Structure 1
Amino acid sequence: MTVTVSVDVVLPCLNEARALPWVLSRIPAGWRALVVDNGSTDGSADVARALGATVVSESRRGFGAACHAGLLASEADVVCFCDCDASLDPGLLTGFVSAVAAGESDLVLGRRRPRGRGSWPAHARAGNLVLARLLRRRTGLKLRDLGPMRAARRTELLGLELTDRRSGYPLQMVVRAADAGWRIREVDVPYLPRTGKSKVTGTWRGTWQAVRDMSRVLAERAGTHHTPAGGVR
């Protein structure tokens, strides 16, 4: 039996005017695209509006700040997150949403599988590997990636009471979900060369700043927040 749910896709955006047309064209019919403009100077917000997306403005810089602003602005049953740089195809989120809607998983994550030269620089991949190992030590989860593509129920996500507003936001979501006993699934997704330069992992400095942000998240003690396990029905 097919379960019908409403879906919002949160797309944190900082100067992604070139990538937006392709990204928004891949949003499944009937879903709402929430483009969170995080201080763009290239007209990204205007491009997004012209293409039919809902634009949310977030003046506080930071990946987590943009993601959380989108979550707070969402109204759908299920909220998805996806990068806005054309490295990930939001059309692939249909399978994520189906698993959440059917109650098979509480949080579905995309494991990035590089396609094309330069899609995942060595320093970014190394940082991700370190964090995946630290996450396993902290939670027991055997995840192989901590990528940004994911889907979960909106009310349950809000219940996680996420506080990180920098690069640690995606990891904090996973850590708190694991602490709450959520069923977490990882699904392979193609990872394409992005349009433009990465704001986070485009350099060694950016990558290790992200690792530092996420290391602070891993230092959280379990039980410091309260979210019912198995919240998805």
Structure 2
Amino acid sequence: MGDAPLELTILMPCLNEAETLAVCIEKAQGYLARSGVSGEVLIADNGSTDGSQEIARAHGARVVDVPVRGYGAALGAGIAAARGRFVIMGDADDSYDFSALDAFVAALRQGHQLVMGNRFRGGIAPGAMPWHHKYIGNPVLSFLGKLFFRTKASDFHCGLRGFDRDAIQGLGLRTTGMEFASEMLVKATLSGLDVAEVPTTLKPDGRSRPPHLRSFRDGWRHLRFLLLFSPRWLFLYPGLALLIFGLIVGGALLPGPVRIGRVVFDLHTFVVAAMCVIVGLQSISFGLIGRRFASRYGFIPRSEKFDRLLEGLTLERILLMALVLMGIGAAAMLWGLSEWAARDFGPLESPYTLRALLLAMTALVAGFQLMLSGFLSSMTNIPLREGRILAPDDIRPGAPEKKSP
């Protein structure tokens, strides 16, 4: 076929899959022959030493060598080398059925740009998935993915999926490890791509060796990725909860102790409320800074609502709010010092004086944190590329000054 454009590339990442690679390629080629779809089988080899490359070529597959190790690195290189308009990717361990791709191709032809397989709807054979993956890992991570990003996919980590090659390449996927699959779905959802889901099956893989997947290590990498790509859930929402809790509790205790039944809430609870305000405000600041940084450098798509919010939060306005807070704190601190002086700098036993001092410290710390966060946020907003006013020759020592014509 040469370099002629094709409709479909069936892509398999490979690292020492000699036991199962041939049967996967045969199933994929059988599907192409049966369906009449113009396509190819592409193996993205990640440095196999068991003869997998020779097996692939002997069975008519095209091989692309990927020197950078990692599931994501192999798939990224395979997607870049694919000749098909559509790509269906899946593991080369014979756990997915490459002879039954009709639902994926039909959905792609209908205009869906990412088509996820759902193993829970299609059927998971006994022994195909460890119980902690089936009942804990996948359900929990899929729930968090749907909660954080409002994606339609219910099987967040299914490895068999199809997509429009140009649309996925336009997402700028970056990760090189197992979290590549999560990045693809998250960025596709955030970018507004048309995501669909079709049932697929999963059976025990045909390898005699242990799988490359490491449950807790790779599970943590997926969870970490979900959190890092959602500053709202990592920073903003927890920060808002802490700030609101601290303001409500602190406001209730500012006039004096509060009794609920036989329990009395006093200064110790007021200290906790002050800590919640400080930590909550800092967490909200991290959320705004993280969102600005991530969207600015292309990790997550830009948001018009968020950009409008940040346009209003200029450095000058943030500094003004910080100075107001610090002014309130300084005034309360001076009042507290005057009260201390009135007692000849002896022990401060009045709960009202202690409340004022706690309020002063909270306002001072919060204002100082807000000021530093404003400067840090502005640093991330510095333009990435600036047109140089002076060329290197213009600033060379001893160079004559250039005059305008």
TM over 0.5: yes
145, 161, 185: which one aligns with 1:174: 185
SS in structure 1 at match of 2:168: helix
Matched, 1:72 2:80: yes
For residues 191 and 125 of structure 2, the distance between their equivalents in structure 1, rounded to whole angstroms, comes to 37
Question: What do you get for the CA RMSD once the two structures are aligned?
Answer: 2.0
For residues 116 and 8 of structure 1, the distance between their equivalents in structure 2, rounded to whole angstroms, comes to 27
Matched, 1:40 2:48: yes
Correspondence list, 1:87-102, <5 A: 87-102=95-110
Matched, 1:188 2:189: no
Matched, 1:106 2:113: yes
Deviates more, 1:115-124 or 1:171-180: 115-124
One-letter code of the match for 2:53?
A: A
Corresponding residue for residue 144 of structure 2: 134
Deviates more, 1:218-227 or 1:56-65: 218-227
* Residues 127, 208 of structure 1: 8 Å contact kept: no
For residues 199 and 91 of structure 1, the distance between their equivalents in structure 2, rounded to whole angstroms, comes to 24
Matched, 1:147 2:158: yes
CA drift at 1:142: 4.5
- Partner deviation per Cα, 1:78-108 (whole Å, 9 max, x = no partner): 11111110000122223212211221x2211
* Residues 87, 165 of structure 2: 8 Å contact kept: yes
SS in structure 2 at match of 1:92: coil
CA drift at 1:143: 2.8
One-letter code of the match for 2:181?
A: P
For residues 64 and 88 of structure 1, the distance between their equivalents in structure 2, rounded to whole angstroms, comes to 18
CA drift at 1:19: 0.8
CA drift at 1:185: 1.4
* Residues 156, 227 of structure 1: 8 Å contact kept: no
One-letter code of the match for 1:163?
A: R
* Residues 5, 101 of structure 1: 8 Å contact kept: no
Q: Using a 3 Å threshold, how does the CA distance of structure 1 residues 5 and 35 change in structure 2: closer, same or farther?
A: closer
Corresponding residue for residue 176 of structure 2: 165
For residues 77 and 153 of structure 2, the distance between their equivalents in structure 1, rounded to whole angstroms, comes to 26
One-letter code of the match for 1:17?
A: A
For residues 102 and 57 of structure 2, the distance between their equivalents in structure 1, rounded to whole angstroms, comes to 23
- Partner deviation per Cα, 1:170-203 (whole Å, 9 max, x = no partner): 1100000100112211211110110113111xxx
SS in structure 2 at match of 1:212: helix
For residues 164 and 72 of structure 1, the distance between their equivalents in structure 2, rounded to whole angstroms, comes to 15
* Residues 6, 83 of structure 2: 8 Å contact kept: no
One-letter code of the match for 1:63?
A: Y
So what's the TM-score if we normalise by structure 1? 0.87
- Partner deviation per Cα, 1:15-54 (whole Å, 9 max, x = no partner): 1111112111111233211111112121111100000000
Corresponding residue for residue 23 of structure 2: 22
One-letter code of the match for 1:119?
A: A
For residues 162 and 35 of structure 1, the distance between their equivalents in structure 2, rounded to whole angstroms, comes to 19
Higher relative contact order (CA 8 A, sep 6+): 1
Corresponding residue for residue 50 of structure 1: 58
Deviates more, 1:148-157 or 1:26-35: 26-35
SS in structure 1 at match of 2:10: strand
Q: When the two structures are aligned, how many residues end up with a matched partner? A: 219
One-letter code of the match for 2:11?
A: V
One-letter code of the match for 1:18?
A: E
Q: Which runs of 5+ in 1 are unaligned?
A: 201-205, 229-233
SS in structure 1 at match of 2:99: helix
Q: Which runs of 5+ in 2 are unaligned?
A: 231-290, 303-405
So what's the TM-score if we normalise by structure 2? 0.51
One-letter code of the match for 2:17?
A: E
CA drift at 1:215: 2.1
Matched, 1:198 2:205: no
Matched, 1:209 2:217: yes
107, 114, 124: which one aligns with 2:133: 124
Tell me which protein shows more strand as a share of its residues: 1
Correspondence list, 1:8-19, <5 A: 8-19=9-20
